[in-house]
Each structure stands twice: as C-alpha cells, then as structure tokens.
Amino acid sequence: MSQSAITPGGTSSSDADRGETNSERAGLDLDASLGYLLKQAASVLHTAMDAVLRPLGMTITHYACLELLAQRPGLSNSDLARGTFVTRQSMNTLLRAMERDGLVSRPAQPPVGRILPAELTELGHRQLATASAAVKTVELRMRSKLDAEQQSELRHHLRSSIDALTE
C-alpha cells in the first residue's frame, strides 16, 4: 500500500497526481466542520479542566459526580453515570472510592428497590468548593473573548444542535 504526503496546497501527492484538492474529494472539510470544531473545543476544555483538577487529586468524572450530587442529592448510580458520561460500572467504582474517602454517603440497604441514593458529605461539599473554584477559572478563560450576548448566542446554538441530534 502506498502512502501519500500532504502538500502545502492541501493536496496529497496522490490527489495532486489526479489534480484534486482535499475539498474536491468526498469527505468532510475539517476547517468548515462544526462537529470537528466542537470535538476540538471539547478536547481543549478537557485538557484545561484536567490540568486544574489533577493537582487536587481529582478527575473530571470525579468533579462532575460531586457537582451533580450537590445540585441533585440522592441520584442513583445509573443517573450519575448518565450525567457524567461513563458506564454504570465505572460510576460504581468511583462511588465506592468516594464513599471510602468520606466524600459521599449511601445507605447500607436500598430504601426502595435496588437503588442506593448517594449524597455528598461535608467533606464532599468542601472538596467540591475547591474544585469548582478551579473549574471556574477554566470557564472564565474559555469565554474571555466572548461578550455576554455572544455567550448567550453560543449557548442557544449549542442547545439547538443537541436538540437536533436527540429528536
């Protein structure tokens, strides 16, 4: 199988042999793709959040779990997994560790059915306050080049895009 190099004009050597540019071939124009741009933004945001949370001994999922429990006490393992975009098994492992570390509490026996609702402890609330302050600095940097109206428009357009894909 031969390999081709990308030339400065945006063509590969095999494309150039045929007189084609990247935009004339089938596929996405990555420079114009909203999906690719969103993926880049998500990746950069992930890296920035990881950089401020790691020194606190936390992952993004750990932080997101604390944030969800602060806003919605009593969520189940499944609810937390959905809200943090991980599997139920991964969330169960995280919740056990957080319970062991005194950050969350869950009843020994399910109050109803098989669901063990989780709640933040005082230590969990303190850890969340520290992590939230760090994450807010990332949020502020991310939107520093947007005025209030542009931020509102961006939220609106992102929600519309999410709605379009979940209908």
User: In this structure, what CATH number is given to the domain that contains residue 54?
Assistant: 1.10.10.10
For residue range 11-58, list pLDDT tens digits in order.
555 555 555 555 566 788 888 899 999 999 999 999 999 999 999 999
For residue 12, is it within any domain?
Answer: no
How high is the pLDDT of residue 28? Answer: 81
Q: Is the pLDDT of residue 134 over 50?
A: yes
Tokens representing residue 138 in the block = 């990332």
Global pTM reads 0.77
How high is the pLDDT of residue 2? Answer: 45
Q: How far apart are CA 103 and CA 23, in angstroms?
A: 52
Residue span of the structural domain in which 47 resides: 40-166
For residue range 69-113, list pLDDT tens digits in order.
999 999 999 999 999 999 999 999 999 999 999 999 988 877 777
Residue 7 · residue 18 · CB < 8 Å: no
For residue 17, is it within any domain?
Answer: no
How high is the pLDDT of residue 1? Answer: 46
Q: Is the pLDDT of residue 4 over 50?
A: no
For residue 27, is it within any domain?
Answer: no
Which helix (H) or strand (E) segment holds residue 4: the answer is none
How high is the pLDDT of residue 111? Answer: 74
For residue 73, is it within any domain?
Answer: yes
Q: Name which of 46, 42, 67, 39 is nearest 131 in CA terms.
A: 67
Q: Is the pLDDT of residue 60 over 70?
A: yes
How high is the pLDDT of residue 22? Answer: 55
For residue 5, is it within any domain?
Answer: no
For residue 147, is it within any domain?
Answer: yes
For residue 46, is it within any domain?
Answer: yes
Phi, psi angle pair for 115, to nearest 5°: -85, 130
Residue 138 · residue 56 · CB < 8 Å: no
Tell me the mean pLDDT in the region 115-138. 95
Residue 83 · residue 75 · CB < 8 Å: yes
Domain count, the chain: 1
For residue range 117-127, list pLDDT tens digits in order.
899 999 999 99
For residue 33, is it within any domain?
Answer: no
Residue 120 · residue 103 · CB < 8 Å: yes
* Radius of gyration, CA atoms only, the chain: 22
Residue 60 · residue 70 · CB < 8 Å: no
